């Protein structure tokens, strides 16, 4: 099947009119009809655009151009060759039959007609070329426009994503700050509640000794705070064990966390006392200067529960030793007393 029959059959199967194909390819309808009817004389002496027209027609209706390209080229060459041969033969017959003058006039007329036909053909070809170039330019502009729109869309999307990420980071930061403030307020309220329930009583039998009681069950530590108007070394012990850096000279405000046990004793020694403000668990503790001489360390004792049992045992042992010494002394005085009584008896007998 010839290529022009294939094109026409394909168009009719698609139920497309010649005008539909013309609108799609921008080719004149007479050119499309001439291709389907294999009337290449419409293109005059210039067949250079027939191949382009057939190619555009094939692409428009979905015919494989590569499959018919060789046939189209051969057909165009054959038609052009036959046309050239026919023109040559006609010219020869005219030359043979006509006088020289008529031949000259008719030749001139034919030449003029040929020039006119060539001019029309070239004009049509030029218009077709310009139309084709315009289509290519429009297609290129469309592709460039799509590329530009894609780049703009990508940039806007990137900016939007960055803006969303920044907003999310700010939101997370604000949530973190609010959570931190909430935890801080909760901790402050908890400490205030603990301090409100905490009871610190001065022990009547000792100076600068305090009994701490009514400690909440979930409280595991108490905060010790000491203001230091002047530089000073501070030593904090728990059950005779130092729990801070006693060699360091502190200034400003000294803080120490006191880990609580069921029964324990804390001792606080301020090497250079100068009316320091002392708080334990939010409760203020005063230092009694009775019996204290300036220049000596200020010592405060804090007793949790019954205090350190080892300290009581040691104190009791000292009390037993004193009691033992006191008995010996009493015994010694008894001997003297007895001895003096015997002596007194002997002197009485002598008398």
Does the structure show a pLDDT above 90 at 314?
Answer: no
Does the structure show a pLDDT above 70 at 335?
Answer: no
Task: Delimit the domains of the chain by residue range.
Answer: 3-97, 115-197, 200-307
Per-residue model confidence (pLDDT) at position 101: 43
Per-residue model confidence (pLDDT) at position 118: 67
Helix (H, G, I), strand (E, B) or coil at 255: strand
Per-residue model confidence (pLDDT) at position 132: 76
Per-residue model confidence (pLDDT) at position 321: 46
pLDDT tens sequence across 81-90: 888 788 788 8
Q: Name residue 234's beta-bridge partners.
A: 270
Rounded to two decimals, what is the model's pTM? 0.39
Does the structure show a pLDDT above 90 at 316?
Answer: no
pLDDT tens sequence across 163-202: 889 998 988 999 888 888 888 888 888 778 777 778 998 8
Does the structure show a pLDDT above 70 at 331?
Answer: no
42: which DSSP letter? Answer: G
Comparing 181 with 313, which gets the higher pLDDT? 181
In this structure, which long-range contacts are made by residues 28-37, counting pairs with CB atoms below 8 Å and at least 24 apart in sequence? 32/57, 35/4, 35/7, 36/4, 36/7, 36/8, 36/11, 37/4
Per-residue model confidence (pLDDT) at position 114: 63
Q: Cα(177)–Cα(167) distance, rounded to whole angstroms?
A: 15
Other Cβ atoms within 10 Å of 28 Cβ, number: 17
Does the structure show a pLDDT above 60 at 324?
Answer: no
pLDDT tens sequence across 206-263: 788 999 998 988 888 999 999 999 999 999 999 999 999 989 999 999 999 999 988 8
Q: Residue 4: enclosing H or E segment and its boundaries?
A: helix 3-13
What is the rounded average pLDDT for all residues in the chain?
81
As a whole number, mean pLDDT of residues 50-68 equals 90
Per-residue model confidence (pLDDT) at position 105: 52
Comparing 126 with 16, which gets the higher pLDDT? 16
Helix (H, G, I), strand (E, B) or coil at 235: strand
Does the structure show a pLDDT above 60 at 34?
Answer: yes
% pLDDT > 90, the chain: 34
Per-residue model confidence (pLDDT) at position 115: 67
Q: Cα(227)–Cα(276) distance, rounded to whole angstroms?
A: 5
Q: Which residues, 6 or more positions from 276, have their beta carbon under 8 angstroms from its beta carbon?
A: 226, 227, 228, 229, 270, 287, 298
Comparing 121 with 193, which gets the higher pLDDT? 193
Other Cβ atoms within 10 Å of 162 Cβ, number: 10
Does the structure show a pLDDT above 80 at 349?
Answer: no
Q: Which residues, 6 or more positions from 254, have their beta carbon under 8 angstroms from its beta carbon?
A: 224, 225, 226, 227, 228, 234
Backbone phi and psi for residue 276, each to the nearest 5 degrees, phi listed first: -70, 145
Q: Residue 202: enclosing H or E segment and its boundaries?
A: strand 199-202
Q: Cα(10)–Cα(20) distance, rounded to whole angstroms?
A: 13
Other Cβ atoms within 10 Å of 36 Cβ, number: 19
* C-alpha torsion angle, residues 41, 44, 49, 52 (rounded to 10): -10
Q: Cα(221)–Cα(281) distance, rounded to whole angstroms?
A: 8
pLDDT tens sequence across 107-116: 555 555 566 6
Per-residue model confidence (pLDDT) at position 113: 55
Does the structure show a pLDDT above 80 at 307?
Answer: no
Per-residue model confidence (pLDDT) at position 41: 80
- Right CATH number for 3-97 from 1.10.620.20, 2.60.120.10, 3.40.50.2300, 1.10.260.40? 1.10.260.40
When pLDDT is cut at 50, 70 and 90, the band that residue 99 belongs to is low
Does the structure show a pLDDT above 90 at 305?
Answer: no
Comparing 124 with 59, which gets the higher pLDDT? 59
């Amino acid at each position: 099947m010839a290529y022009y029959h294939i094109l026409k059959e394909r168009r009719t199967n698609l139920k497309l009119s010649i005008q539909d194909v013309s609108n799609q390819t921008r080719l004149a309808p007479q050119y499309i009809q001439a291709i389907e009817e294999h009337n290449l004389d419409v293109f005059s002496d210039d067949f250079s655009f027939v191949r382009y027209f057939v190619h555009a027609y094939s692409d428009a209706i979905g015919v494989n151009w590569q499959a018919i390209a060789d046939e189209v080229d051969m057909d165009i060459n054959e038609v052009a060759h036959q046309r050239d041969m026919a023109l040559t033969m006609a010219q020869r017959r005219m030359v043979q039959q006509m006088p020289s003058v008529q031949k000259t006039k008719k030749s001139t007329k034919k030449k003029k007609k040929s020039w006119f036909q060539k001019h029309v053909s070239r004009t049509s070809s030029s218009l077709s070329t310009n139309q084709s170039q315009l289509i290519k330019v429009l297609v290129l502009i469309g592709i460039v426009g799509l590329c530009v729109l894609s780049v703009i869309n990508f940039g806007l999307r990137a900016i939007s994503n960055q803006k969303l990420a920044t907003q999310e980071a700010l939101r997370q930061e604000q949530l973190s700050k609010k959570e931190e403030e909430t935890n801080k307020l909760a901790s402050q309220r908890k400490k205030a509640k603990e301090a409100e329930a905490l009871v610190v009583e001065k022990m009547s039998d000792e100076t600068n000794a305090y009994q701490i009681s009514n400690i909440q069950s979930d409280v595991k530590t108490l905060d010790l705070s000491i203001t230091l108007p002047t530089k000073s070394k501070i030593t904090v012990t728990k059950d005779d064990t130092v729990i801070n850096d006693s060699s360091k000279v502190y200034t400003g405000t000294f803080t120490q966390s006191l880990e609580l046990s069921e029964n324990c004793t804390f001792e606080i020694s301020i090497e250079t006392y100068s009316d320091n403000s002392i708080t334990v668990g939010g409760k203020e503790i005063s230092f009694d200067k009775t019996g204290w001489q300036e220049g000596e360390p200020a010592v405060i004792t804090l007793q949790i529960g019954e205090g350190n049992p080892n300290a009581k045992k040691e104190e009791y042992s000292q009390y037993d030793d004193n009691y033992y010494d006191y008995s010996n002394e009493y015994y010694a005085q008894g001997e003297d007393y007895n001895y003096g009584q015997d002596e007194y008896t002997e002197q009485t007998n002598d008398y």
